[in-house]
Structure 1
Amino acid sequence: AAKGIHTLIGALCLLRQRGVPVSVTFVGSGPDEDELHAALAREGLTERATILTPRPARDAMRLGRVMVVPSHAESLPYVILEAAAARVPLIATKVGGVPEIFGPVASRLLPPDDPAMLADAIADCLEMSTSELREEAAVLAAFVEQRFSVAAMVDGVLGAYRDAMALRSHARQHV
Structure 2
Amino acid sequence: MPQQLRILHCFRSPVGGIFRHVRDLTDAQVAAGHQVGIVCDSTTGGDHEARLFESIRPKLALGIRRTPMQRHIGLGDVTAGWRTYKIIKELQPDVLHGHGAKGGVYARVFGSLLRVSRSRVARLYSPHGGSLHYDSDTAVGRAFFGLERGMDRFMTDQLLFVSDYEQRTFEQKVGKPRAPSTLVYNGLRDQEFEPVRPSPDAADFLYIGMMRDLKGPDIFIDALALAEKTLQRPLTAEMVGDGDDVAKYKQQAEKLGFAGRIRFHPAMPARQAFALAKVIVVPSRAEAMPYIVLEALAAGMPMIATAVGGIPEIFGHGSRALIAVSPRDLADRMAEAKQDLQGFREAMPSAETLRARFGADVMAREIEAAYHAALQDKTLAH
Structures share a fold, TM > 0.5?
Answer: yes
CA contact (8 A) 1:66 1:89 kept: yes
1:149 maps to which of 359, 364, 380:
359
* Cα distance in structure 2, aligned partners of 1:66 and 1:2: 21
CA distance 1:63–1:105, shift in 2 (3 Å): farther
- Is the aligned partner of 1:126 residue 2:349? no
1:1-175, aligned counterparts within 5 Å?
1-18=213-230, 19-103=232-316, 106=319, 108-112=321-325, 114-130=326-342, 132-137=343-348, 139-154=349-364, 156-157=366-367
CA contact (8 A) 1:8 1:115 kept: yes
TM-score normalised over the length of structure 1? 0.80
Structure 1: any 5+ residue segments left out of the alignment?
169-175
Cα offsets for 1:103-130 (capped at 9, x unmatched): 3664641111x11110111111111144
Q: Which has the higher helix share?
A: 1
CA contact (8 A) 1:102 1:140 kept: no
Sequence identity, in percent?
36
Q: Which amino acid aligns with 1:40?
A: A
* Cα distance in structure 1, aligned partners of 2:260 and 2:309: 33
* Cα distance in structure 1, aligned partners of 2:266 and 2:317: 34
Q: Which has the higher strand share?
A: 2
CA contact (8 A) 2:303 2:321 kept: no
Flag the structure with more relative contact order, 1 or 2, with Cα contacts below 8 A and sequence separation at least 6.
1
CA contact (8 A) 1:146 1:152 kept: no
User: How far apart are 1:55 and its partner, in Å?
Assistant: 1.3
* Cα distance in structure 2, aligned partners of 1:6 and 1:125: 20
CA distance 1:159–1:106, shift in 2 (3 Å): farther
RMSD: 2.5
TM-score normalised over the length of structure 2? 0.39
Name the stretch that deviates more: 8-17 or 152-161.
Answer: 152-161
* Structure number, greater radius of gyration: 2
SS where residue 352 of structure 2 aligns?
A: helix
